[in-house]
């Protein structure tokens, strides 16, 4: 797929709140952009602006952060089928492979929306849209994520009930919105889980709390977007319809 064939959006002649413009430009999430504005680090047409809610015209106003110009970027929304043994990070001091290595080199400004741990695989989004990332990762928006877990041993219905009711692990309540057993033998079980809170290693910790070890973990959907037939290690652009389905009016 050509980078130039991707769906992308720009703002043309409309007034935007300054914090949204900064998020759209990939400076930071909207919340973090608000903090940057409040700290007096942003200027519009040469004047420092520290008032939240200030509106600008992206085509005509000159915006800087810490003295550096900020330009509206085309927004990229990428779905990737992450293989195991890839990190969801941009850290340069780690010699392990990173999901950015699977994308065109000119997209080095993209960041992952949430994480999949090193041993997990499946659907993950990358973007340069901070506002999009915030809405997909903040618990209050409740974006569902569905996983298939293969574990050692037989998972009984009682375990599923505990997942749905919630278990406490390291002082934190972990809970699945939905869970069902797809296969259960003495040797192994396959379980499908839907989560909405996005806590660190939540699926693995749920099973560990019941003394099960996860052998394989794959994320198969985020919201209404399914992994489908996307090959392992490959990516595709999200369509406009898909993006809108992930960003309902809140």
Nearest of 132, 156, 139 to residue 248 by alpha carbon: 132
What's the rounded Cα separation, in Å, for the pair 146 and 223? Answer: 8
CB 33 within 8 A of CB 22: yes
Does residue 131 contact residue 17 with C-beta atoms inside 8 Å? no
Catalytic residue among 24, 108, 117, 170: 117
Eight-class DSSP state of 98: B
CB of 178 closer than 8 Å to CB of 148: no
Output the CA torsion sign for 35, 37, 38, 40: positive
CB-based contacts of 169, cutoff 8 Å, min separation 6? 205, 206, 208, 209
Question: Is 117 considered catalytic here?
Answer: yes
Output b/e per residue, 165-188; b: 16+ Cβ within 10 A: eebeeeeeebbbeebeeeebeeee
User: Can you list the positions of beta strands (E) in 83-213?
Assistant: 111-113, 121-127, 145-152, 167-169, 172-174, 178-184, 188-195
Catalytic residues: 117
């Amino acid at each position: 797929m050509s980078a130039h064939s991707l769906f992308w959006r720009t703002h043309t002649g409309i007034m935007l709140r300054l914090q949204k413009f900064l998020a759209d430009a990939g400076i930071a999430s909207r919340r973090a952009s608000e903090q940057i504005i409040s700290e007096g680090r942003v200027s519009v047409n040469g004047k420092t602006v520290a008032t939240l809610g200030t509106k600008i015209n992206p085509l005509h106003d000159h915006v800087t952060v810490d003295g550096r110009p900020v330009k509206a970027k085309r927004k990229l929304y990428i779905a990737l089928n992450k293989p195991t043994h890839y990190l969801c990070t941009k850290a340069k001091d780690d010699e392990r492979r990173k999901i950015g290595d699977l994308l065109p080199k000119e997209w080095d400004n993209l960041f992952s929306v949430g994480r999949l741990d090193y041993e997990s695989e499946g659907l993950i989004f990358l973007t340069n849209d901070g506002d999009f990332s915030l809405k997909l990762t903040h618990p209050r928006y409740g974006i569902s994520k569905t996983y298939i877990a293969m574990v050692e041993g037989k998972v009984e219905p009682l375990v599923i009930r505990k997942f749905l009711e919630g278990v406490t692990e390291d002082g934190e309540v972990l809970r699945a919105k939905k869970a069902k057993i797809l296969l259960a033998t003495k040797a192994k079980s396959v379980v499908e889980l839907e989560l909405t809170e996005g806590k660190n290693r939540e699926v693995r910790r749920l099973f560990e709390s019941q003394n099960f070890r996860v052998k394989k973990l794959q994320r198969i959907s985020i919201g209404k977007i399914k992994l489908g037939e996307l090959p392992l290690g490959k990516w595709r652009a999200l369509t406009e319809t898909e993006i809108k389905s992930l960003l309902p009016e809140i």
